Amino acid sequence: MSWQLKARLAVGLITMVLLLTHVIADPVARLVVTLAVYVLVAYPVLISACKDLFIRHRMSEQFLMAVATFGALGLQDYPEALAVMVFYLIGDAFEEYASQRSHNEIASLVKLKPSKVRVINPDGTETIKKPRQVKIGDRIRVLAGESVGLDGTLVEGSASIDMSALNGESEPALFTAGQEIPSGVINMGSVIELIVTKDSKNSSITRLLNLIEDAAANKSRPEALITRFAVYYTPIVVGCAVLLALVPLVLPNEDFANWITRALVFLVVSCPCALVLSVPLSFFGGLGAISKTGVMVKGSVHIESLSKLKAMAFDKTGTITKGRFSVIEETLFNQPDANVAAVPVAKDAVTSEQRLDLLGKLAALEAKTTHPIGVAIVNYCTEQCVPTLEATEVTEITGYGIEGQINGHHVMVGKGRLLTEKLGMELPAATSDLVGTEVYVVEDHKLLGRVLLADEIKDTARSMFDELQRLGIKTYMITGDKDRVAADIASRCNISAYYAEQLPSDKLSTFQKIKSNNGVTGYVGDGINDAPTLAASDVGVAMGQFGSASAVEAADVVVMNDDLTKIPTAIELAKRTFDLAKQNMILVIGVKVLILALGALGYANIWLAILGDVGLCVIAVLNAMRPLYWVKTKSLTVKDVSITPAKAEA
């Protein structure tokens, strides 16, 4: 809560008490003090009311606040005039507190762009420049682990590039001399040099950030519940007050002054003080309950969107999966001669010595690389206590793998294309239904073995998708990975449908198609490449623990502890919170209609309205606090809802 809002609330409350207790008794002093404090407390409401009436041509809840308080001032009910605005400010304070980290501040995304580029001068020296200072045709250097600042063509050799920022692909891509490397990606290998092909304005990372900003700007924001209600309620109340003031035209014996006073009382009575406090408080309680589960919702409007979700789309890498490789299968082969097809050795026939020999030779070569797959293999071999072997004469086979000498034998390690394109061997058949990245070990031109690596699925993924199915929410996966990998993940996680091999622009258009077919649709992601889709979704959910800054900033909801099961929990709590807010509205409106009827007949005065509002406020506040206790008693029952995933039509 800002200090300005705190100060206005404090001044309003103190003045209201002084007026009620008649500490300020002189009529002129009461009027002057009331008007001064009223302007201080109510000026944002009055400005908003004028904008709504004259610019948007509608009567909002702010307009009703203004009209009702003008009526109270006309009746010299000064404490009541201030009370109306103070109640409204309290509700506004809850809303401001809940929304203070709104995700609309996308300006911080520019920090994601590389801030410096290493430019190579004609004499071979290096100069650090800002990306916008570099021209097309300049030669730049990118060290291992650095982000590529500008799009450029690789000068020589090869480069292992982490492309996950742009396409979500979990496996690094291999680039060779002459190929263009986009900006915003990470150099995973040795030092590389590029010839710049695009300036900073037109670079890949700049286009991605522009895409994020455009998607956020075009995203429709749901109106607050009470605002939608006020659009109908306010004109009806004002119309009824006008009709009351005109009753003497129909009943000639009636006194105009009496009915005008009654109309003013009607306006003051109509002011929904309890409503403007209880509804924001209901959402605030819901936000508190959801935050207890480790999920942060950036504002109450997203509670309603969460409660109405019909479908959710998910990124794969880092969201459904852990975003890191692990060995899931080892296979040894028997190939007595290079001209004879390799035959897999039955798992129960593999000796410990054979297994350790395979893994030792594999680790000896992979230890010489910085490729994520190599790192994963070395870590796995270390965990398996594989004896360390020394590899010599290690060289990279550009585009295929790596080779070297181990204990007098020529050993080669690489993917399937090493066998088929370099050695002229046939790929052996799969030995299981597992899907992943295959790495082969060849010794003296004979196939020694193979390991299979995969990006691990998070432990909570399957239960999360089962829960979403139980809630009637259709699920989709949108990923940059290959079709066979996507199909395997979708099947194992119980996902309704999937889209594979998607670039950032594809992801956004694909999501919009899903949204048009389903209605209110959410998106869950964690990477820079997910930010445009998060910004365009009805509810964007980011994984906060390991997610990128852009994803967290563009999202409406952030899962702070990376536990996917918190998503359906948050949705259920949002549904209950929205239902509670509607209950409070029905309760307040019901009592308010009764008091309005009594006021129109002349049986209710301003104090009955205030007492009614105070009583309603107490009940509504107690009701609104219920969400804070839901988490302690909440239990989810997961039903086994199994479906067959379908590859979605492009």
- Confidence at residue 251, expressed as pLDDT on a 0 to 100 scale: 83
CA–CA dist 49, 634 (Å, integer)? 41
Closest CA to 624 of 351, 281, 321, 380: 281
CB proximity list for 69: less than 8 A, separation 6 or greater: 38, 42, 81, 84, 85, 268, 271
CB proximity list for 601: less than 8 A, separation 6 or greater: none
CA–CA dist 499, 502 (Å, integer)? 7
- The predicted model gives 68-79 an average pLDDT of 82
Most confident of 206-220, 277-291, 410-424, 593-607: 410-424
Question: pLDDT category, 222, cuts 50, 70, 90?
Answer: very low
Beta carbons within 10 angstroms of residue 509's beta carbon: 14
Distance in angstroms between the alpha carbons of the first and the last residue of the chain: 47
CA–CA dist 569, 270 (Å, integer)? 38
Does the pLDDT value for residue 643 go beyond 60? Answer: no
529 neighbors 544 (Cβ within 8 angstroms):
no
User: Which of 164 and 403 is assigned the larger pLDDT?
Assistant: 403
- Confidence at residue 105, expressed as pLDDT on a 0 to 100 scale: 33
Question: pLDDT category, 554, cuts 50, 70, 90?
Answer: confident
Say whether 315 is catalytic: yes
- pTM: predicted TM-score of the whole model, two decimal places: 0.62
191 neighbors 143 (Cβ within 8 angstroms):
yes
Which tokens belong to 64? 């009703």
In angstroms, what is the C-alpha Rg of the chain?
33
Kindly report, residue by residue over 299-346, the tens digit of the pLDDT.
Answer: 777 888 899 999 999 988 778 988 778 888 899 998 877 677 788 888
Does the pLDDT value for residue 95 go beyond 60? Answer: no
Pairing of strands 539-543, 557-559: parallel
- Confidence at residue 303, expressed as pLDDT on a 0 to 100 scale: 86
147: three-class secondary structure by DSSP: strand
Q: What is the 3-state secondary structure (H, E, C) of 33-56?
A: HHHHHHHHHHHHHHHHHHHHHHCC
Out of 16-20, 135-139, 558-562, least confident range: 558-562
Q: What is the dihedral of CA 568, 167, 528, 327, to 10 degrees?
A: 70
- Confidence at residue 319, expressed as pLDDT on a 0 to 100 scale: 87
582 neighbors 624 (Cβ within 8 angstroms):
no
Question: pLDDT category, 545, cuts 50, 70, 90?
Answer: low
Instruction: Express as a percent the part of the chain with pLDDT over 90.
Output: 25
179 neighbors 154 (Cβ within 8 angstroms):
yes
What's the one-letter identity of residue 114?
Answer: P
- Confidence at residue 623, expressed as pLDDT on a 0 to 100 scale: 77
Range list of H helices, 75-218:
78-99, 164-167, 204-217
579 neighbors 354 (Cβ within 8 angstroms):
no
Residue 149 CA, chain-centre distance (Å), reads: 26
- The predicted model gives 150-165 an average pLDDT of 85
Q: Which of 315, 481, 526, 613 is catalytic?
A: 315
Does the pLDDT value for residue 438 go beyond 60? Answer: yes
C-alpha angle 333-338-340 in degrees, rounded to nearest 5: 70
- Confidence at residue 108, expressed as pLDDT on a 0 to 100 scale: 39
Instruction: Express as a percent the part of the chain with pLDDT over 70.
Output: 82
Task: State the DSSP H helix or E strand holding residue 437, giving kind and residue range, or none if neither.
Answer: strand 437-443
Kindly report, residue by residue over 370-402, the tens digit of the pLDDT.
Answer: 777 888 899 999 999 899 899 999 888 877 889
CA–CA dist 451, 401 (Å, integer)? 14
- Confidence at residue 633, expressed as pLDDT on a 0 to 100 scale: 42
Question: pLDDT category, 161, cuts 50, 70, 90?
Answer: confident
- The predicted model gives 60-72 an average pLDDT of 80
Closest CA to 372 of 150, 87, 592, 172: 172
Does the pLDDT value for residue 123 go beyond 80? Answer: yes
Kindly report, residue by residue over 504-540, the tens digit of the pLDDT.
Answer: 678 889 999 999 999 999 999 876 677 788 888 999 9
E-strand spans in 554-611? 557-559
Residue 272 CA, chain-centre distance (Å), reads: 34
The CA-atom distances, in angstroms, between 325 and each of 207, 436, 574 are 30, 9, 35
Question: pLDDT category, 109, cuts 50, 70, 90?
Answer: very low
Longest dimension (CA), the chain: 119
Closest CA to 379 of 367, 389, 391: 367
Does the pLDDT value for residue 169 go beyond 70? Answer: no
User: Which of 39 and 294 is assigned the larger pLDDT?
Assistant: 39
User: Which of 136 and 603 is assigned the larger pLDDT?
Assistant: 136
- The predicted model gives 60-79 an average pLDDT of 81
C-alpha angle 113-116-122 in degrees, rounded to nearest 5: 135
Averaged pLDDT of the chain: 81
Q: DSSP characters for 519-545?
A: SSEEEEE-SGGGHHHHHHSSEEEEETT
User: Which of 329 and 481 is assigned the larger pLDDT?
Assistant: 329
Which tokens belong to 648? 């979605």
CA–CA dist 647, 500 (Å, integer)? 8
Out of 113-117, 120-124, 210-214, 279-283, least confident range: 210-214
Question: pLDDT category, 406, cuts 50, 70, 90?
Answer: very high
User: Which of 619 and 649 is assigned the larger pLDDT?
Assistant: 619
- The predicted model gives 261-284 an average pLDDT of 73
315 neighbors 522 (Cβ within 8 angstroms):
no
Closest CA to 299 of 554, 99, 541: 99
Does the pLDDT value for residue 90 go beyond 80? Answer: no
Beta carbons within 10 angstroms of residue 320's beta carbon: 27
E-strand spans in 509-650? 521-525, 539-543, 557-559, 646-647
Does the pLDDT value for residue 634 go beyond 60? Answer: no
- Confidence at residue 170, expressed as pLDDT on a 0 to 100 scale: 59
- The predicted model gives 183-210 an average pLDDT of 83
Out of 297-301, 353-357, 567-571, least confident range: 297-301
Task: State the DSSP H helix or E strand holding residue 176, giving kind and residue range, or none if neither.
Answer: strand 173-176
Question: pLDDT category, 100, cuts 50, 70, 90?
Answer: very low
Most confident of 157-166, 170-179, 338-347, 462-471: 462-471
Place of tokens 């610019």: 55
Out of 24-33, 224-233, 257-266, 463-472, least confident range: 224-233
For 452-491, give one letter per residue: b (16+ CB within 10 A) or e: bbbbebbebbbbbbbbbbbeebbbbbbbbbeeebbbbbbe
196 neighbors 378 (Cβ within 8 angstroms):
no
List of domains in the chain: 110-216 (2.70.150.10), 323-457 (3.40.1110.10)
Q: What is the 3-state secondary structure (H, E, C) of 304-357?
A: HHHHCCCEEEECCCCCCEEEEEEEEEEEEEECCCCCCCCEECCHHHCCHHHHHH
Closest CA to 61 of 82, 101, 89: 89
